């Protein structure tokens, strides 16, 4: 049973037919040229050599990884075979390490850090986790606490420390929610000293579910760059970051619509991240009532105003955190939060499937006919 307010599927996916299209076009041109037989053979041999040369240089190379339970495709351009193998091996190791170290509930580095924070003890940890805390502090401040990864205990209380959705059953008891809210956990309670962390508030429990994917993709892109790879795309189930470009042909991605289908498509630009936060896939269900997995840290309850938010930003971490924060801000508050984050490429879909977009986003996306939409006035534009 699906509630009309909780559209089932909204996500972004990639369409890439370009390579195939080019190959077909090239073959037709050969046939049409009408050369003599000898010339044709010479041409074919030459073409074969050319194709081999191209295959070694300009072709795309792809690999897939699991990143936080999401099948993640990595595509590289203009990279030799050996180079791509090196890059993929490095990414495999990186993604595995993140999965192990950043997990909010499986025992590992982050649960160890959380235990120390709850006990008021100082704890030394990894550069990545310190950076996640530092960036989270900044983003929590800029979003007025709508994005707050210190609410791990609350997320756990709701049962969202699982990969098994939907969760069946009633919401937690109000007094339990109130008790955790009363602790007022905030990343700003954490003091950073080099690689050491200590919290002045025992209620702080870190859960990077809303930014981990974004930061993981950023790190992956940085590593690709270090390896001298300038053109690549890392796509974690529709959340993606592009570095460089795909030759002179941009990628076209589609934004999925609530309840299936798509609302439209857009071309990816150079060096940008596109992230969508949806309130429709992961939730707790009690009979026909749904409680989605994004919580308003100020009330302790799930937010339901918007079905999905898509954000384009320079980096994955910001885009990921922003998409979550804007869902929490809802229809009345998202503009203020987007402005404070310096973002002007935003698309929102409400519970009835209506699309709201900023002028800059409207200039990029091609909406399908019949999609109800509204361009929202936005002060920074």
Chain residues binding ligand ADP by CB under 6 A are: 147-149, 155, 160, 207, 209-210, 277-278, 282, 293-295, 297, 320, 324, 328
DSSP 2: -
Q: How near is the Cβ of 324 to Mg ion at its closest, in Å?
A: 4
Q: Report how far Cα 61 is from the mean position of its chain's Cα atoms.
A: 22
Q: Which residues contact 229 (CB under 8 A, 6 or more apart)?
A: 76, 79, 83, 87, 243
Closest CB to ligand ADP: residue number: 209
285 binds Mg ion (CB under 5 A): no
At closest approach, how far in Å is the CB of 180 from ligand ADP?
13
Provide, rounded to whole angstroms, the least separation between the CB of residue 211 and Mg ion: 6
Query: How many residues of this chain interact with Mg ion, rule: CB under 5 A?
Result: 5
- Asked if 136 is part of the footprint of Mg ion (rule: CB under 5 A), the reply reads no
Q: Residue 158 binds which one of ligand ADP, Mg ion, none, with CB within 5 to 8 A depending on kind? A: none
Instruction: Give the rounded distance of the alpha carbon of 247 from its chain centre.
Output: 24
The SS3 call for residue 37 is helix
Tokens read off for 379: 């002060």
Say which entry of Mg ion, ligand ADP, none residue 160 contacts (CB below 5 to 8 A, set by partner kind).
Answer: ligand ADP
Stretch that binds Mg ion, among 199-207, 208-216, 281-289, 358-366 (CB under 5 A): 208-216
User: Is 324 an interacting residue with respect to Mg ion (CB under 5 A)?
Assistant: yes
Stretch that binds Mg ion, among 89-97, 124-132, 266-274, 321-329 (CB under 5 A): 321-329
Instruction: Determine, following the binding rule CB under 5 A, whether residue 148 of this chain makes contact with Mg ion.
Output: no
Smallest Cα–Cα separation from 151: which of 188, 122, 181? 181
Residue 310 and residue 338 in contact, taking contact as beta carbons nearer than 8 Å: no
Provide the minimum distance between the beta carbon of 82 and ligand ADP in the complex, in angstroms, as a whole number: 34
Judged by beta carbon, residue 149 or residue 351, the one nearer ligand ADP is 149
Which of 369, 290, 275, 334 has the alpha carbon at shortest distance from 11?
A: 275
**Contacts (CB under 5 A) with Mg ion, residues 71-130:** none
Q: How many CA atoms lie within 13 A of 233 on its CB side?
A: 26
Please give the backbone phi and psi of residue 320, each rounded to the nearest 5 degrees, phi first: -65, -50
Q: Is the Cβ of residue 264 or residue 297 nearer to ligand ADP in the bound state?
A: 297
Number of helices (H) and strands (E) in the chain: give both, helices first: 10, 21
Would you say 125 or 324 has its CB closer to Mg ion? 324
Based on CB atoms, which residue is closest to ligand ADP, 84 or 114?
Answer: 114
Which residue's CB comes closest to Mg ion? Answer: 324
DSSP state of 285: E
Give helix 316-341 / helix 127-142 axis angle, nearest 10°. Answer: 20
Q: How far is the CB of 294 from ligand ADP (least distance, A)?
A: 4
Closest to ligand ADP by CB, 207 or 315: 207
Distances in Å between the Cα of 256 and the Cα atoms of 124, 191, 194, 264, 266 are 42, 41, 42, 7, 12
**Of 332, 331, 353, 357, the residue nearest 345 (C-alpha):** 357
Least separation in angstroms between residue 324's CB and ligand ADP is 4
**Is position 210 an interface residue for Mg ion (rule: CB under 5 A)?**
yes
Residue among 322, 249, 227 at smallest CA distance from 21: 249
**Is 60 or 279 the residue whose CB approaches Mg ion more closely?**
279
Residue 315 in contact with Mg ion, rule: CB under 5 A:
no
Using CB under 5 A as the binding rule, whether residue 279 contacts Mg ion is answered as no
Residue 348, binding choice from ligand ADP, Mg ion, none, Cβ under 5 to 8 Å by partner class: none
Q: How far is the CB of 104 from ligand ADP (least distance, A)?
A: 6
Q: What is the DSSP letter of 189?
A: G
The stretch near Mg ion (CB under 5 A) out of 28-36, 66-74, 120-128, 323-331 is: 323-331
E strands, 127-261, are 167-168, 190-193, 196-199, 232-236, 239-243, 252-256
Q: Which residues bind Mg ion (CB under 5 A)?
A: 210, 277, 320, 323-324
């Amino acid at each position: 049973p699906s509630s009309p307010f909780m559209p089932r599927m909204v996500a972004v996916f990639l369409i890439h037919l370009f390579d195939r299209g080019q190959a077909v076009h090239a073959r037709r041109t050969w046939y049409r040229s009408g050369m003599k037989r000898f010339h044709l053979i010479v041409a074919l041999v030459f073409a074969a050599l050319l194709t081999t040369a191209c295959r070694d240089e300009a072709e795309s190379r792809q690999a897939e990884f699991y990143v936080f339970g999401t099948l993640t495709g990595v595509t590289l351009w203009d990279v030799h075979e050996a180079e791509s193998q090196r890059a993929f091996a490095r990414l495999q190791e990186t993604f595995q390490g993140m999965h192990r170290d950043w997990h909010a509930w499986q025992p590992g580095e982050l649960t160890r850090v959380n235990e120390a924070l709850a006990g008021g003890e100082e704890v030394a940890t990894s550069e990545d986790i310190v950076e996640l805390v530092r960036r989270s502090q900044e983003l929590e401040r800029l979003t007025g606490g709508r994005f707050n990864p210190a609410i791990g205990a609350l997320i756990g209380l709701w049962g969202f420390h699982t990969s098994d959705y939907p969760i069946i059953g009633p919401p937690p008891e109000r007094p339990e929610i109130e008790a955790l809210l009363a602790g007022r956990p905030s990343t700003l309670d954490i003091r950073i000293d080099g690689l050491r962390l200590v919290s002045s508030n025992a209620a702080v429990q870190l859960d990077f579910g809303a930014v981990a994917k974004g930061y993981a993709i950023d790190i992956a892109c940085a590593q690709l760059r270090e390896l001298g790879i300038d053109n690549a795309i890392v796509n974690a189930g529709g959340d993606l970051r592009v570095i460089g470009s795909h030759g002179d042909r941009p990628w076209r991605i589609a934004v999925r619509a609530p309840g299936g289908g798509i609302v439209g498509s857009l071309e990816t630009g150079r060096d940008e991240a596109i992230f969508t936060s949806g309130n429709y896939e992961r939730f707790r269900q009690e009979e026909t009532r749904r409680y989605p997995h994004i919580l308003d840290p100020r009330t302790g309850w799930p937010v339901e105003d918007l079905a999905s938010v898509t954000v384009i930003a320079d980096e994955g971490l910001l885009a990921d955190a922003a998409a979550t924060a804007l869902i929490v801000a809802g229809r009345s508050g998202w503009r203020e939060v987007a402005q404070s984050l310096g973002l002007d490429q935003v698309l929102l879909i409400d519970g009835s499937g209506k699309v709201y977009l900023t002028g800059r986003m409207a200039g990029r996306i091609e909406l399908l006919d019949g999609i109800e939409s509204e361009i929202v006035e936005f002060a920074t534009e």
